[in-house]
Structure 1
């Protein structure tokens, strides 16, 4: 931002004159500061079918599927037998026509339509489809990133996904500099027999027994895929009953393979803890649940490996305060985002407030966790508004005490929260 721009916004000399002006500037900058989205399930265009976008993908997002069934007496089998377009029509009628779209996911869809310039008042789903039909994937990526203000996207990349793997093995995956990779290792920790079969099929000499040779090959697998993807961190989603240390496969995998490879590669280990899978299997991907986790396991990891950096988020609301307090004790622990079921406005506001009250601006307040590309629009708009409101409240308190923050300082703080804290934690310039 130039000095001329500052003076235009704040008046002569760039000084903020009133508390009302302070709040306005803070909230405006929160909405305009570019974002690094450090955890998503999105893909660059070169990943083809894995890059989900468009009206029908948005409406058949698993949040809306599970919400729709609360209004239905029909069977799950009938729903899954429909085409995707038919499913989208059914969900549209249930959540947007027969009832008002007031949930976070449903109102987020309305935000997307409006920000893309579509006539929300028409309630004409076919018109919305038609409006996007002529766009290419590349055009939609450009448009959504422009509207959302997201500058850089971290994908979640699984070498055990056959479609994705072929892109990487063919030398692809790095064609769009706005996207970076994170190596997903869920199967190695949570479904070891499956991981063994997959690694064997790729030429790695592993076995289910945790032998010295298997450890060596797992480390080779991780190192080669980190290098192939230029992965910025190792990522895993863990159940709420994860315990560390324990006499189990997960502890051996972490101690013998994952931490050594992370340290050799100079990358953080990201753990997302607290999911309980397939509580209702008939809902498929929509059937997962949250559960409380053991923060002491994170404490043990941070204490045992003080030189290893950990990115950490948890799914249960009950864990959030304890996790934030723990981050005060370990500088190698970076708390990030409001994950999954916590990504609703009331929880985002609560968590953002107490994190900033405990940790100042040394956190990563949000990530989108998007699966469908246009979700970037509403998830970041809703979150930016909250982050701006919380910061404005804190700046007003400083103002009342006689500490007057400048516009440059506000911009610095927001850039830290939305960008630099992530890149600085990685040790990479941005």
Structure 2
């Protein structure tokens, strides 16, 4: 069915709203991981985006704030950001979008009622409601091989719910290799204290043993802006001798999230990280040297985005995904998605939620879908102006690729 200009907006928005989503990167866990399964209003309010926004007002020192209980912290955030000031930031608006989706009337004096609503939801019911509201097919977790609290859950129950898919996260291996080697030695692997052929082989064995337990869809690491391919460091050796061979052997992609400067303000804890520009030329060389390995790349710095698009045009094994962390704000999502579509067509993954609290899935996908729909409408309108015939089936194909198809292809789903 041909789509006319006067119905284009409605058709696109309907198809985007109905599109099933594969969420490419989250920090969520299945309900079986009880203390790791973050959900509800207090977990939303104590999300680190809102914590640092609260602490900016200087009413309470970070040390005093973090000495409070979670409920007390949530009270402080609510009063500061939702009562004493208008909740206009994206993170605040996200909370309100979630509450509206649940049919809750959010107002400055409604926190007790909101808490009562969430207290009645079982973990399983809560997960079902969120997946339905976000129209999620599945999400990909962040599964840290060096976190004993999490790995204690790695068993049959951990992988039973196929809505929660695994990704093997190995940040310590690349960012603090000495500590990682000690960790592996304590587990019985013959690693270090120096890099050697045996150490590399034992690191690969460690990764294989972890992967056998959770069947990850990709290997993942968050890296500083100083990351370089073949830079002569221990990190560089591990990339060449461990990470790339492991991904090649398992036939899974390597997901690199680059640009975080850790704890520039340690007092802010999880909210204390900042951003830096990385070297895209080094990523190009890595893709050139390893054409049989898929690299899933998201960069934290806005200033890197155009270079990354250019690189993706040259290397089919470089797959761009999402607007990560500090870039996940409407104005920047729109700018970056427009540029990517102009340069890459629909051959990228426009967004991931990066959700740390279950309920985040609702607002992050609602808000992102609105923006992505706007970008699609603008590009399709330009297409119609050339006289090109556009059908509803064409649009549905493109929408499905953006929200799930491209992810499924690169992950082999």
Q: Normalization by structure 2: what TM-score?
A: 0.98
1:283 aligns with 2:271: no
* Residues 249-269 of structure 1 deviation map (CA, whole Å, 9 limit, x = unaligned): 111001101100100000000
Secondary structure at the counterpart of residue 237 of structure 1: strand
CA distances 1:162-206 after superposition (whole Å, capped 9, x unpaired): 1111111x4431110111100001000001122112112222111
Query: Which structure 2 residue ranges, 5 or more long, are not aligned?
Result: none
Q: How does 1:306-325 map to 2 (within 5 A)?
A: 306-325=291-310
Aligned twin of 2:287: 302
Q: 2:78 aligns with which of 92, 96, 106?
A: 92
* Superposition CA RMSD, Å: 1.0
Alpha-carbon separation, structure 1, partners of 2:53 and 2:6:
40
- Which residue of structure 2 aligns with residue 398 of structure 1? 383
Shift of 1:73: 3.2
Q: Is the 8 A contact 1:364 1:417 kept in 2?
A: yes
Partner of 2:171: 186
**Tell me, what secondary structure is at the counterpart of 2:203?**
helix
Cα deviation digits, residues 196-236 of structure 1 (max 9, x gap): 12112222111220012111100111112122211000000
Question: Which stretch of the first structure deviates more once superposed, 78-87 or 219-228?
Answer: 219-228
1:347 aligns with 2:328: no
Distance 2:81 2:6 in 1: 38
Who is 2:6 aligned against?
20
Q: SS where residue 45 of structure 1 aligns?
A: coil
Aligned counterpart for 1:63 among listed residues 24, 38, 49: 49
Cα offset, 1:122, TM superposition:
6.5
CA distance in 2, matches of 1:230, 1:55: 32
Name the counterpart of 2:312.
327
Contact 2:146 2:170 (C-alpha < 8 Å) held by counterparts: no
Which range moves more in the overlay, 192-201 or 298-307? 192-201
- Runs of at least 5 residues in structure 1 that lack an aligned partner in the other structure: 1-13
1:121 is displaced (CA, Å) by: 4.1
Taking the aligned partners of 1:398 and 1:80, their CA distance within structure 2 comes to 53
Q: Can you list the C-alpha shifts for 1:63-91, whole angstroms capped at 9, x where unaligned?
A: 00000112123211210111100000000
Structure 1 counterpart of 2:16: 30
| 2:222 counterpart SS class | strand
Provide Cα deviations, 1:93-151, integer angstroms capped at 9, x if missing partner: 00000000000000111001001111124641010000110111111100011011111
Query: Are 2:359 and 1:380 aligned?
Result: no
Whole-angstrom CA distance in 2 between matches of 1:151 and 1:116: 20
- Structure 2 residue corresponding to 1:222, chosen from 207, 222, 235: 207
Q: Is the 1:192–1:208 Cα contact (8 Å) retained in structure 2?
A: no
> Quick one: distance in 1 between partners of 2:319 and 2:196?
33
**8 A Cα contact 1:42 1:51, kept in partner:** yes
Kindly indicate whether the alpha-carbon contact (under 8 Å) linking 2:46 and 2:70 is maintained by their aligned counterparts in 1: yes
Spell out, residue by residue over 1:368-412, the C-alpha distance to the aligned partner (whole angstroms, 9 max, x if none): 001001000111001001111101111111111111211111111
1:236-257 deviation per Cα after TM superposition (whole angstroms, max 9, x unaligned): 0000111222110111001101
Q: Which residue of 2 aligns with 1:360?
A: 345
- C-alpha change, 1:122 and 1:287, in structure 2 (3 Å) is closer
Answer whether contact 2:219 2:252 (CA < 8 A) is retained.
Answer: yes
Per-residue CA deviations over 1:406-430 (Å, capped at 9, x if unaligned) read 111111101000001011112x24x
3-state SS, counterpart of residue 167 of structure 1: coil
CA distance in 2, matches of 1:425, 1:159: 23
